[in-house]
Amino acid sequence: MTERNILAYFHSPEQAEGARRKLLALRAIDVSIDRIHTDAGADTELAMEMIGTDVGGLGAAVLGAAYANRSAAIMSAAHPDASGLSDHGDETLAGRDILLTAVVDDREYAQALRIVQECGGMV
């Protein structure tokens, strides 16, 4: 049995939950739903003194945030607001902060994709 993965983005948890129920009825091997956001590990309790201290990276300098770990600081530097490396012209994922992850049998993959798209998901 060959397995295939699906990552789909939704506008609401309800849309994703509808897809999850249908995928489970299709006998999906695994399905999970998570909310994604750009605050990867940000610790809002920490204050940052910019003058006279070591700046913790581009994200800290531009966004004015402090991060609990180095990985979160690196991820924040990739954000368009910090890096400036986006023209903000591609809005295909705008508002889609619900991620459905599914593992399905290869034989049901095409039908699983249709289910996800019919429920409002973007693959």
Tens of pLDDT, residues 6-19: 999 999 999 999 99
36-88 tens-digit pLDDT: 865 544 444 443 444 445 555 655 555 666 666 666 666 666 666 655 555 55
pTM higher than 0.75 for the full model? no
Domains of the chain (ranges; CATH) run: 1-36+97-123 (3.30.70), 40-89 (no CATH)
Whether residue 5 is predicted with pLDDT greater than 60 in this model: the reply is yes
Closest-CA residue to 21 (of 112, 99, 84, 123): 112
Q: What is the C-alpha to C-alpha distance for residues 3 and 49, in angstroms, rounded to an integer?
A: 50
